[in-house]
Amino acid sequence: MSALPQHIISDLKAVVGDQWVVVEKRAIERYLYDETAYGVRPQPAAEVVVVKPGSTEEVAEVLKVANKHKVPVYVRGGGTGLVGGAIPTKPGIVVTLERMDRVVIDSENMVAEAEAGATLGKLIEEAEKHNLMFPAHPGDEGASIGGLIACNAGGSRAVKTGVMRNYVLGLEVVLPTGEVLKLGAKTIKNNFGYNLAHLLIGSEGILGVITRAYLRLYPKWSYAATVVIPFDSRVNAFRVAKKLLFSGFIPLALEYFDRRVIENSAKYLGLQWPIKEGEYFLMVMLAEPLEDVLFLELEYIDRVAREEGSLEPFATQREDEQKTLLKIRSEIFSSLKSETFDILDTTVPLGNVDRFIEKIIDIERRYGIWLPVYGHVGDGNVHVHVLNYQGFSKDQLEKIAEDVYDAALMLGGVITGEHGIGYARKKYVKKLLGSAWVETMRKLKAALDPNNILNPDKVIPEE
Ligand SMILES: Cc1cc2nc3c(=O)[nH]c(=O)nc-3n(C[C@H](O)[C@H](O)[C@H](O)COP(=O)(O)OP(=O)(O)OC[C@H]3O[C@@H](n4cnc5c(N)ncnc54)[C@H](O)[C@@H]3O)c2cc1C
């Protein structure tokens, strides 16, 4: 048995009921880790209890108990995070919102009212039942609404309708000291007071516990297509990507990957990558309310691609084929995970994506290694995997990651576009964001969380 002192456990049981406080080591195991690559994943603490509140009020009371005993609290969603954000790195309480998973669709206003523990998969499914759509698609549908908002997740379908921040109309948040804040409304616009919701979006579980959200939905675009454009030359692929984006054409998604990466993912899923030609690919996803518009866009993409030297584009409007293509794309991360030291989340300004890839190739040459590269080229957000290369020490692997970061920074980029800082990227914060940022964050954190109980050793570096 590894747990906190009995008097704390008794207080927690008094709030949520005996059956919702888990202390058995084996039952706790699945709440200790997330999807962070093994090379940079922090060790969880041994003394942890898992608490499963069933309502916002219970979340608030749990936080009050934590403050009373000054015990750290780690909020957990789907555990799909990639920077160790949900890992309880100090003895404390893991709060999982898995029981709070209701989704109510207000089709009249095109808004979903979702509890934070609901999964992305459930939200998508519920919206579709009402002929509505939640377009965002950060790769793992097991991620929770709370986690997605806390990380301001992006994903492939962010070019047209944005990242999580762009969907959140309102939030219910429990502050670290237990007060409940209701922010925003079901309206598209709201200028009443400081936008505290936007402080919470992307705050990675350190400033408050998100318990509920109003999320903007879109009409289910009746006409959707996915086009995969193969190329023999990477340079041509990027020329097409730029030309499409700079012409004012806004697809739902614009992704880049190469054959080795995508075939690896297809194989991992027991599938075959259907496009036989080409070494480099752009994947364009389209969604429109009018079929004529979709056709015009398909024609336009085809023309631009061929003018810039693509091979035969593959376009499909079939839902099953589109789902399969997206699935293969989404599983690239998982297919590489067992050999991955770290997955990087570098993002560069749109015009520099091709230059960034050139720099990655230089790094590959310099070290004699393969750096799988793929991602959301439509947002300049390119993932690079540093693998566990034989004969390389941890320091050398970290140096490779830093070389990739330097390449992004030299091009005016950032080291994370969507995964966040969490634990894994904390060591770069001081260097890259500066001491004024750190001090401001510390003041904000101290104002909201005077006892430093919420996700205490994440995001903000220690003194
Ligand atoms: C296969 C795969 C593909 C992925 N693809 C993408 C992608 O394309 N784009 C992208 O952005 N991300 C992607 N991710 C990362 C991950 O899905 C996102 O970071 C997601 O937002 C994490 O949500 P979660 O519910 O799993 O959060 P968790 O991992 O449980 O937690 C993440 C952080 O959020 C905090 N948190 C969780 N719930 C709450 C809450 N209710 N209130 C306050 N804080 C909370 C936690 O404390 C932690 O700091 C991918 C992950 C995997 C495994």
Ligand 1 mean position, distance from CA 435 (Å): 27
Q: Which of 52, 90, 151 to mutate to test the pocket of ligand 1 (most atoms within 8 A of CB)?
A: 151
Q: Residue 443: inside a domain, yes or no?
A: no
Q: Angle, to 10 degrees, between the axis of helix 353-367 and the axis of helix 234-246?
A: 160
Sign, Cα dihedral of 166, 167, 171, 173: negative
User: Same structural domain for residues 289 and 322?
Assistant: yes
Q: Which of 33, 38, 55, 82 to mutate to test the pocket of ligand 1 (most atoms within 8 A of CB)?
A: 82
Q: Specify the CATH number for the domain of residue 253.
A: 3.30.70.2190
In DSSP notation, 132-168 reads EE---B-S-TT-BHHHHHHTT--BSTTTTT-SGGGTE
Question: Domain boundary at 178, 198, 219, which?
Answer: 219
Question: Domain boundary at 265, 296, 331, which?
Answer: 331
What's the domain range around 30? 6-96
How far is the C-alpha of 302 from the C-alpha of 227, rounded, in Å? 9
User: Same structural domain for residues 289 and 386?
Assistant: no
Q: Residue 1: inside a domain, yes or no?
A: no
Ligand 1 mean position, distance from CA 148 (Å): 5
Are residues 154 and 379 in contact, defined by beta-carbon separation less than 8 angstroms? yes
User: Same structural domain for residues 263 and 245?
Assistant: yes
**Residue 215 contacts by C-beta under 8 Å, 6 or more apart in sequence?**
111, 112, 113, 114, 123, 134, 145, 167, 168, 169
Q: Residue 444: inside a domain, yes or no?
A: no
Strands 132-133 and 218-219: antiparallel
Ligand 1 mean position, distance from CA 409 (Å): 24
**Mean pLDDT, contiguous 10-residue spans, the chain (463 residues):** 87 98 96 97 97 98 98 98 98 98 98 98 97 93 98 94 97 98 96 94 98 97 96 91 91 96 97 97 96 96 95 97 94 95 96 92 96 94 97 97 97 97 96 94 98 97 85
Provide the β-strand partners of residue 287: 224
Q: Angle, to 10 degrees, between the axis of helix 56-69 and the axis of helix 6-16?
A: 160
Nearest-CA residue for ligand 1 atom 19 is 81
> To which H or E segment does residue 412 belong?
none
pLDDT given for residue 92 in this prediction: 98
* 153 CB near ligand 1 (under 6 Å): yes
User: What is the Cα 219 distance to its own chain's centre?
Assistant: 23
Q: Specify the CATH number for the domain of residue 30.
A: 3.30.43.10
Report the phi/psi class of residue 412: left, alpha or beta, with left for phi > 0 and alpha for psi in -120 to 50. Answer: left
Q: Residue 134: inside a domain, yes or no?
A: yes
Nearest-CA residue for ligand 1 atom 23 is 147
Nearest-CA residue for ligand 1 atom 22 is 81
